[in-house]
């Protein structure tokens, strides 16, 4: 294994000294004097699926009282393609009340998070999650994260095959360390002083996080271009031949460093199903060996490819594989949105895609979402599928149960009409939990859309599927740079406004206005939406109109559609 950086950053030193992700986590968890764990262990803990956070709403008051911040922990599950059984759902629903803040957060990587876990309950929560055959291992940290695949696998034979390939990738790239099982599940240490071998990752794992997604055309509902590795399923005569391989996507950037930027993955070529796993592993290993381990801002695969040059990267991949990828095959995406309501799979079972605003599963006034999903799980035992757009699919429903579930859903959906923009909105957690957030996202976006909705109804655009995405910082967890409208928090109440991504997820938006407050955002959007309503072409999406009308200048071209 190569190491092209002599001066590694502090996180690299922590990983090297962690004894394959053990660190001093056991000691930190046992320390009853503080609600926190040691600073070094916060880096190690991420690999186990948890982040240390604080309740930032209470920080000032607790500081006045000379109390330490109210530390708590987020726990993230590993759910390949977002699939979870009713039995598992009911347990997680219970754990959210028992140990968390009573809610579940659906993420943009097809999994869920529990928030507000106190340190004394952290081990109990992870243990009980594992007891229902769900792990939290490698959902955070410098490893391959949750593997996405187009929901839902039960729609067709091709979707199911793609799902099985996502499972293969996920299992193959799981860390092999036994530290997770020792610390959280009380398993005995492995032989050899507790050391492990990591044949794929090595002792210091990857330079940064690594993300993989599969998309099945014509829907790009996993935003496949935003991943370190993207796989686009290529079908012929109802047979999955293989995948077009993308590499080098990533959403994150830093305000303070203009050299950082979001990036779409490059199409490298086509690989048959039987060789796909080898290609994925070797791309990951190039990142392991060539990635930047001195500056974490430039440690993602996208920067490795830019440093090496795309052709050099492709040659390196060919040399490691011992064969060349075939030329990419034609494909077509029409949307990166979810399709709401009922759809029927090839097996005649029914599946209902339910909009979940900002991905938060909770009971609110006149909207008992959490309780209703619990009731559906208890009575009808469906499969639940979390989508990459923070929504939930109630899957594998028989005809006789469909009518009853429909009635239950209508009883909670009987509220104000949902505009197309609201249904296609995404927001990260941001304040008050995320320590990286500069501004609100999840708690603010619904009220902002309330105000935009008035404009949409006035212009008769209420059914237009407009992608709007908001994050509290530039790291891009809700993929704001692929929104037709993107809002990235700069400080409380002010956002950078981005415009002009397309509806297929294959074109980035561009910065239109910095440090915009609510009045400025609404004024800009009113003007643009008025132009759109008056001058749009037939079936033209807002992002395409913004580019055609030269409201923004797009420097990059669309990819492969």
Of 293, 473, 490, 507, catalytic: 473
Look at residue 283 in the predicted model and tell me its pLDDT.
98
Q: Is 22 an annotated catalytic residue?
A: no
Answer for the pair 139, 49: CB distance below 8 angstroms, yes or no: yes
Sequence-ordered alpha helix ranges (H) in 139-272 = 157-172, 179-185
Look at residue 339 in the predicted model and tell me its pLDDT.
95
Of 428, 479, 507, 541, catalytic: 428
Residue boundaries of the structural domains of the chain: 147-336, 341-413, 420-548
Answer for the pair 497, 486: CB distance below 8 angstroms, yes or no: yes
Q: Is 109 an annotated catalytic residue?
A: no
Of 145, 374, 422, 479, catalytic: 145
Of 78, 477, 479, 541, catalytic: 477
Q: Is 239 an annotated catalytic residue?
A: no
Name residue, tokens 């309740």.
55
Distances (CA, A) of 540 to 464, 527, 536: 10, 17, 6
Of 76, 285, 360, 469, catalytic: 76
Question: What CATH number belongs to 420-548?
Answer: 3.30.413.10
CATH 3.30.70.100 assigned to 341-413: no
Look at residue 6 in the predicted model and tell me its pLDDT.
63
**399-413 b/e (C-beta count within 10 Å ≥ 16 → b):** eebbeebbebbeebe
Encode pLDDT of 242-263 as tens digits.
999 999 999 999 998 999 999 9
Q: Is 460 an annotated catalytic residue?
A: no
Q: Is 157 an annotated catalytic residue?
A: no
β-pairing, 266-272 vs 239-247, is antiparallel
The angle that helices 301-308 and 310-321 make with each other, rounded to 10 degrees, is 100
Q: What is the C-alpha separation between 379 and 419, in angstroms, rounded?
A: 31
The tokens for 346 are: 């090839």
Q: Is 145 an annotated catalytic residue?
A: yes
Per-residue pLDDT of the chain (561 residues; tens, 9 = 90+): 444 446 999 999 999 999 999 999 999 999 999 999 999 999 999 999 999 999 888 888 888 898 999 999 999 999 999 999 999 999 999 999 999 999 999 999 999 999 999 999 999 999 999 999 999 999 999 999 999 999 889 999 999 999 999 999 999 999 999 999 999 999 865 444 445 789 999 999 999 999 999 999 999 999 999 999 999 999 999 999 999 999 999 999 999 899 999 999 999 999 999 999 999 999 999 999 999 999 999 999 999 999 999 999 999 999 999 999 999 999 999 999 999 999 999 889 999 999 999 999 999 988 999 999 999 999 999 999 999 999 999 999 999 999 999 999 988 877 678 999 999 999 999 998 898 999 999 999 999 999 999 999 999 999 999 999 999 999 999 999 999 999 999 999 999 999 999 999 999 999 999 999 999 999 999 999 999 999 999 999 999 999 999 999 987 555 544
Look at residue 188 in the predicted model and tell me its pLDDT.
67
Look at residue 195 in the predicted model and tell me its pLDDT.
56
Topology alike, domains 147-336 and 420-548: yes
Look at residue 3 in the predicted model and tell me its pLDDT.
47
Of 288, 434, 507, 541, catalytic: 434
Look at residue 445 in the predicted model and tell me its pLDDT.
98
Sequence length of the chain is: 561
Of 22, 46, 208, 209, catalytic: 209
Look at residue 528 in the predicted model and tell me its pLDDT.
98
Residues 6+ apart with CB under 8 A from 444: 427, 470
CATH 3.30.413.10 assigned to 147-336: yes
Record the pTM: 0.95
% of residues, the chain, pLDDT over 90:
89
Q: Is 211 an annotated catalytic residue?
A: yes
Answer for the pair 533, 507: CB distance below 8 angstroms, yes or no: no
Of 211, 285, 300, 541, catalytic: 211
Q: In which region does residue 205 sit, left (phi positive, over 0), alpha (psi from -120 to 50) or beta (all else)?
A: left
Phi, psi of 109 (to 5 degrees): -120, 30
- DSSP bridge pairs for 255: none
SS (H, E, C) 439-463: CCCCCCHHHHHHHHHHHHHHCCCCC
Q: Is 293 an annotated catalytic residue?
A: no
């Amino acid at each position: 294994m190569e190491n092209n950086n002599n001066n590694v950053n502090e996180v690299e030193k922590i990983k090297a000294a962690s004894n394959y992700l053990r660190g001093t986590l056991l000691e930190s968890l046992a320390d009853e004097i503080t609600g926190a764990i040691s600073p070094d262990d916060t880096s190690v803990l991420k690999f186990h699926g948890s982040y240390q956070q604080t309740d930032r709403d209470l920080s000032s008051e607790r500081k006045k009282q000379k109390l330490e911040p109210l530390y708590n922990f987020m726990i993230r599950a590993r759910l390949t393609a977002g699939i979870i059984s009713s039995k598992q759902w009911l347990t997680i629903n219970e754990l959210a009340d028992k140990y968390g803040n009573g809610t579940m957060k659906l993420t943009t990587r097809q999994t869920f998070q529990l928030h507000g876990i106190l340190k004394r309950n952290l081990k109990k929560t992870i243990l009980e999650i594992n007891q229902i055959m769900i792990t939290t291992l490698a959902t955070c940290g410098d490893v391959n994260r949750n593997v996405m695949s187009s929901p839902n696998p039960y729609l067709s034979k091709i979707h199911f095959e793609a799902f099985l390939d996502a499972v293969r990738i996920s299992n193959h790239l799981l860390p092999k360390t036994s530290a997770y099982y020792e610390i959280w599940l009380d398993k005995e240490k492995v032989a050899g002083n507790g050391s492990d071998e990591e044949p794929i990752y090595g002792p210091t794992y990857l330079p940064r996080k690594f993300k993989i997604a599969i998309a099945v055309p014509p829907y790009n509902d996993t935003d496949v271009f935003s991943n370190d590795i993207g796989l686009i399923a290529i079908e012929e005569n109802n047979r999955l031949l293989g995948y077009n391989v993308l590499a080098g996507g990533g959403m994150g950037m830093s305000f303070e460093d203009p050299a950082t930027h979001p990036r779409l993955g490059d199409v490298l070529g086509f690989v048959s199903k039987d060789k796909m796993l080898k290609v994925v592993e070797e791309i990951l290993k190039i990142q392991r060996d060539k990635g930047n381990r001195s500056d974490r801002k430039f440690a993602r695969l996208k920067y490795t490819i830019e440093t090496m040059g795309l052709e050099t990267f492709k040659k390196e991949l060919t040399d490691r594989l011992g064969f060349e990828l075939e030329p990419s095959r034609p494909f077509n995406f029409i949307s990166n949105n979810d399709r709401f309501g009922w759809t029927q799979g090839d097996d005649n079972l029914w599946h209902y895609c339910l909009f979940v605003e900002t991905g938060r599963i909770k009971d609110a006034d006149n909207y008992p979402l959490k309780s209703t999903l619990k009731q559906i799980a208890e009575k009808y035992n469906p499969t639940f599928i979390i989508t990459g757009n923070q929504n939930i699919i109630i899957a594998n429903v028989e005809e006789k149960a469909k009518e009853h579930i429909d009635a239950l859903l209508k009883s909670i959906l009987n509220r104000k009409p949902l505009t197309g923009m609201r249904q296609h909105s995404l927001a990260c957690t941001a304040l008050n939990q995320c320590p990286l957030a500069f501004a609100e996202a999840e708690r603010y976006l619904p009220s902002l859309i309330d105000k935009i909705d008035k404009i949409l109804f006035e212009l008769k655009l209420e059914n237009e599927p407009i992608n709007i995405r908001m994050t509290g910082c530039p790291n891009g967890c809700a993929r704001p740079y692929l929104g037709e409208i993107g809002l990235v928090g700069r400080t409380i109440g002010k956002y950078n406004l981005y415009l002009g991504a397309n509806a297929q997820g294959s074109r980035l938006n561009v910065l239109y206005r910095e440090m915009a407050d609510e009045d400025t955002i609404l004024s800009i959007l009113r003007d643009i939406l008025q132009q759109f309503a008056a001058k749009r072409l037939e079936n033209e999406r807002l992002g395409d109109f913004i580019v055609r009308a030269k409201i923004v200048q797009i420097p990059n071209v669309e990819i492969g559609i």
